[in-house]
Amino acid sequence: MRSKVEVQLLLQERSMALKEVSSRFNSLFDNSPLSIQILDRSGKTVLVNRAWKKLWDLNDEYVENFVLKEYNVFTDSLLAQKNLLGYFERALQGEVVQMPKVYYDPMVNGKEGRMRIVRPLICPVLSEEGHFNELVLIHEDITEQFVEVENKQFLAGLGAILMESLDYITTLEQIALACIPFFSDAAMVDIIEDGEIKRLVTKHQDKTVEKRLMELVTTFPPKLDSPQPTPRAIRTGKPELLAKVDREIICRHTYNEEHANLISSTGLKSHLVTPLIIRGEIIGTLNFWITSARRPFDEKDIHVAEAICRFAALAIDNARHYRDAQNAISQREDFISIASHELKTPITALMLQMEIAQTIIKTDEKPDRETLQKIFDSATRQVERLSSLIEDMLDLTRISRKSLVSENKKQVLFREMIEDVLERFSSQFKSRGIEVDFYPLDDVYVDCDPLRLEQVITNVISNAILYGQNRPLEVSMQVKDGMAICQIKDNGIGIAKQNLDKIFDRFERIHSATDGKGLGLGLYICRQIMEELSGRIYAESAIGIGSAFFIELPRS
Ligand code: ADP
């Protein structure tokens, strides 16, 4: 028999142990990241924890007044509709029941927020009497994992699209289509071309709305400085999220009322724009619109949109590389055919002159020295022509190694160098009747590789002779902002404005390619030389009036 004191002590210990268990339970219950709801046998809610309120986005008042007082799982029509009540019955028999995934869309209850996916587990609680009087319903929120897996599958699908076509417009269309309806109701691709925003792709699941979206961009085209989200994303390089679009927001981002009305007529509810970026350069945007009653975009969607953008940018980048490679191949082919033609012309002439010379030597007992001299002069010119063509070709390979200009620069008197080149052309000027006016400047020295600078001046003067229609030439010098400039101005055929920059490109010949005048490499090489000399070469011209070429480099 225990004494009264002993019994009291025992009771005290028990009560303390109970308190400890209960406080441990409360701590676990309240701080659990899993949502927990305790139900009694009849289906009424006894207790819910904090995570439960957060999961279903319900406040304390609602829990007090409705969930704990009125709600009953067995009368929940949604659960009944989805045939889920049987799981609770089974749990009441003592079985731990894993329920299938439940999709919960807050919109059903007129609430905002993301759709959630939960995995419920029902655990029966055994009472002291050996009955299952209570159920513990645990909800694990698997939205994130689920969305992540879905997004991964979606993005993997986009990766596969990239492999399907070499035509990037087709690829971008496929990417836009893949986004609908998984990610948005409409997807559009814009790129910047010649300083303007150009729409490449417009897709919407409803063809009538798609038409309206196309009309929108043609009637009210976004400009780089206009108020729409697309130009803003281009200007900032950051995504633009208009989570909930209403009339006021539409008005803020449009040109006028008609523009706003057209957008409203598409039913736009949420708008997300992400910039398309290739190696740090913003090349356009991807536009996603929600026009249906689905959930609006939120911050989390930006990551998905950015991932989609990376695929789109990759498609464009691949296509550009492919196009550049194709251009390079066709340029090279053109070059080979021009080069063979150009090399063949002097060789044919040379062979002809050799034959004539041979015949004269063989048949004439006293060959005419003057005739022979003329033949040899002409042959020498052909050989010089050949060697200059070959020199151009060699320079082309030197350019790729950036080794056109010698490291050891010399200080030269700019005037003297120009005079020397003019002197070398004097017989040509004379034979063609070209008048040359030279306006030199004294005391202007430049640091350069003399041979290369001479090559540039020679090239420009020989072009001035070729295309100058034998009209007067003007060569002048000036010094401006520490730069020494030589201007060579002809009054010849001139160059069209759109070709002015092209003539400095590789293999570019604006005038007939079969006139035996070069490989279209001369000015390209000149530009590379001038760049290596920290200077520049550029031209001004007008068709039928003439051209002026400027050779500019730092004064010593
Ligand atoms: P190439 O090596 O074939 O002589 P260049 O690179 O020197 O070619 O010149 C490129 C093209 O620029 C020429 O084919 C010609 O069409 C144009 N061009 C160059 N200089 C002049 C000029 N002074 N007047 C008109 N056209 C010119």
pLDDT of 466: 92
Phi and psi at 135, nearest 5°, equal -125, 135
Listed in sequence order, the residues at least 6 apart from 475 whose beta carbon sits closer than 8 Å to its beta carbon are: 418, 422, 436, 437, 438, 439, 461, 486, 487, 488, 489
Output the CA 352–ligand 1 centroid distance in Å: 28
Residue of 259, 226, 234, 230 lying closest to 242 (CA atoms):
230
Helix (H, G, I), strand (E, B) or coil at 520: coil
**Is-contact 134 125, C-beta < 8 A?**
yes
Q: Is 274 helix (H, G, I), strand (E, B) or coil?
A: strand
How far apart CA 277 and CA 329 sit, in angstroms, is 27
Query: Which residues, 6+ apart, have CB-to-CB distance to 429 below 8 Å?
Result: 435, 436, 465, 473
CB 383 within 8 A of CB 350: yes
Contact between 37 and 47 (Cβ < 8 Å): yes
Mutate to test the pocket of ligand 1, among 390, 459, 463, 474 (most ligand atoms within 8 A of CB): 463
Structure-block tokens of residue 399: 């350019």
DSSP state of 517: S
Nearest to 552 by CA among 490, 464, 460: 460
Burial state string for 502-524 with b = 16 or more CB within 10 A and e = fewer than 16: ebbebbebeeebeeebbbbbbbb
Distance CA 295, CA 300 (A): 12
Query: Cα 137–140–141 angle (5° rounding)?
Result: 130
pLDDT score for 403: 75
CA distance 29 to 46: 13
Pocket test for ligand 1, best of 503, 514, 529 (most atoms within 8 A of CB): 503
8 A C-beta contact, residue 377 and residue 349: no
Judge whether 399 and 527 are in contact, CB under 8 Å: no
Tell me, in angstroms, the distance from the centre of ligand 1 to residue 509's CA.
Answer: 6
Tell me, what DSSP letter sits at residue 66? I
Nearest one of 286, 288, 309 to 297, comparing CA atoms: 288
Q: How many CB atoms lie within 10 A of CB 190?
A: 26
In angstroms, rounded to a whole number, what is the distance separating the alpha carbons of residues 348 and 346? 5
Ligand 1 pocket test, pick from 469, 501, 523, 551 with the greatest ligand atom count within 8 Å of Cβ, gives 523
**pLDDT of res. 518:** 66
Gap between the Cα atoms of 416 and 410, Å rounded: 14
Query: Which DSSP state fits 294?
Result: S
Fill in the DSSP letter of residue 367: -
Residues paired with 537 in a beta bridge: 551
* CA contacts within 13 A on the Cβ side of 151: 16
Tell the residue nearest (CA) to atom 25 of ligand 1.
494
Q: How far is CA 459 from the centre of its chain?
A: 39
- Rounded CA-CA distance 501/448 in Å is 24
pTM over 0.75: no
449, 410 in Cβ contact below 8 A?
A: yes
Q: How far is the CA of 379 from the centre of ligand 1 (A)?
A: 25
Taking each helix axis as running N to C, give the angle between helix 168-179 and helix 143-164, from 0 to 180 degrees, rounded to the nearest 10. 160
Question: Cα-flanking dihedrals φ and ψ of residue 540, to 5°?
Answer: -125, 140
**Rg (alpha carbons) of the chain, rounded to whole number:** 41
Locate the ligand 1 atom nearest the alpha carbon of residue 549 and give its number. Answer: 23
Q: Which residues line ligand 1 (CB under 6 A)?
A: 459, 463-464, 467, 490, 492-495, 503, 508-511, 517-524, 547
> Which residues of the chain have a pLDDT value below 70?
1, 108-109, 112-113, 400, 508-518
Specify the pLDDT at position 419.
95
What residues contact 226, with CB distance under 8 A and at least 6 apart? 255
Element containing residue 318 per DSSP (H, E): helix 299-363
Distance 517 CA to ligand 1 centre (A): 9
Q: In whole angstroms, give the CA distance from residue 234 to residue 196.
A: 11
Q: 36 is written with which tokens?
A: 């927990």
Q: How far is CA 351 from CA 235, 348, 355, 369, in A?
A: 63, 5, 6, 19
Name the residue among 158, 160, 56 with its Cα closest to residue 108. Answer: 56
